[in-house]
Amino acid sequence: MKLDIDSIREQFPILHQEVNGKPLVYLDNGASSQKPKRVIDAISHYYENDHANVHRGVHTLSQRATDAFEAVRKQVQHFINAEHEHEIIYTRGTTEAINLVASSYGKVFIEEGDEVLISTMEHHSNIVPWQMMCEEWGAGLKIIPITESGEIIMDRFDELLSGRTAMVALNHVSNSLGTINPLHEIINRAHKVGAAVLIDGAQSVPHMSVDVQDLDADFYCFSAHKIYGPTGIGILYGKEQWLNDMPPYHGGGEMIDKVSFEKTTYNSLPFKFEAGTPNIADTIALGEAIRFMEEVGVVNIGAWENELVEYATMKLLEVDGLRIYGTAKNKASVISFLVGDIHPFDMGTILDQLGIAVRTGHHCTMPLMDWYGIPGTVRASFAVYNTKAEVDTLVEGVKRAAAMLG
């Protein structure tokens, strides 16, 4: 299916502006994608018409808010093909979802001497929570090495796996390199030694169809703001048997069954993990973001972005002295690069003056940058509304910046 990109762009109000006197070229989608009007309108509509607390009232507004809020849970279930609706837990985002699992899983399933495996290319959000958990329970954190191109070395992964491995936590797609990891193979091997697997899907769900049952992932996390939705709302999928055995992450209202001063019993799934008043408006708006992606077609989105990445890679490599970090055979819509000895911040500053928004720095992957021996990169990341003309503008901007700074 050929997408009408101009029509898609018309749905995003923020794209139609100038920055520093130049038309905005927004290529920082790996950090956060822009929002279509329908998502913005959903937030306004909720506050103007339906605002009330959910699950706690018999009055009409509360019932309407609850119905809309819970309908999104069902949407997410179908979007990632979870077996049960109650396996979908609302969080503030991928970071909180990983922290929830590390904390709650650790309390029950981690013992001194156990091991957690992560890879060299993980985001800080998939490093620090496991470090904290390992320190608390006396477990060891093991790092799966990668190749120069940014691919997991599977033989080394096999060497690290053992009967002591309690958890394997990996990203589906690297936010810095774009590498798409071979999850079926990884999850299958981890399960053979009895390890659970958590997948950070923050960079995969925006670009490809995800089927958690087909993957057989024990936990899968993603954030709304990277799939054209609002900030402050994310999803944790967990297999029912794990979630039933894990204790609550937060205490308070909603997550309780009965409270007395002597003892509290906990609510059933998913509410056991959703203490307090939730982010109702943004959850409802997440539903509109999912509808947008499904109407455009997730496969179509991925195909267009892959075309953009191939085109941008070809054009950028024409720039003298430019080198790309992350050249895996299977990668998503991210290109990280440096030009000569130019610092990424300096390159990013010049590009901003030309109206081009890219990411510069370590991208919350400091250990990965240290492994490459660089301070960071310039990262261009693509979404469905980006165009080849914008890629041309980026390339010309990089050439101009290189001439000024080289």
| pTM of structure | 0.97
For the chain, the average pLDDT equals 97
Active site includes 364?
yes
User: pLDDT value at position 163?
Assistant: 96
Peptide bond into 270 cis (omega under 30): yes
- Determine what percent of the chain is predicted with pLDDT higher than 90: 94
Quick check: 362 and 375 in contact, CB under 8 A?
A: yes
CA distance 403 to 405: 6
| pLDDT tens for each residue of 146-181 | 999 999 999 999 999 999 999 999 999 999 999 999
- Packing angle, helices 298-316 and 388-405, rounded to 10: 30
Report which of residues 264 and 66 the model is more confident about: 66
Quick check: 209 and 170 in contact, CB under 8 A?
A: no
Which of 364, 366, 374, 405 is labelled catalytic? 364
CA distance 228 to 289: 5
Class of CATH domain 5-28+297-405: alpha beta
What's the pLDDT band for 210 if we cut at 50, 70, 90? Answer: very high
Average pLDDT (333-353) is: 97
Query: Which stretch of 18-27, 265-274, 367-376 has the lowest confidence by average pLDDT?
Result: 265-274
User: pLDDT value at position 74?
Assistant: 98
Could you state, in order of their start, the residue ranges of all structural domains in the chain?
Answer: 5-28+297-405, 40-294
What's the pLDDT band for 1 if we cut at 50, 70, 90? Answer: low
| pLDDT tens for each residue of 26-51 | 999 999 999 999 999 999 999 999 99
User: pLDDT value at position 290?
Assistant: 98
| pLDDT tens for each residue of 239-257 | 999 999 999 999 988 888 8
Between vectors from CA 165 to CA 160 and to CA 170, what angle results, nearest 5°? 75
CA distance 116 to 7: 46
| pLDDT tens for each residue of 358-397 | 999 999 999 999 999 999 999 999 999 999 999 999 999 9
Quick check: 398 and 316 in contact, CB under 8 A?
A: yes
What are the CB-based long-range contacts (under 8 Å, 24+) for 123-126?
A: 123/171, 123/175, 123/200, 123/202, 123/363, 123/364, 123/365, 124/364, 124/365, 124/366, 125/94, 125/95, 125/98, 125/200, 125/202, 125/364, 126/98, 126/169, 126/170, 126/171, 126/198, 126/200
Token readout for 354 is 């030309």
**Sheet containing strand 140-144, strands side by side:** 88-91, 234-238, 219-223, 196-200, 165-171, 115-119, 140-144
The CATH architecture annotation of domain 40-294 reads 3-Layer(aba) Sandwich (3.40)
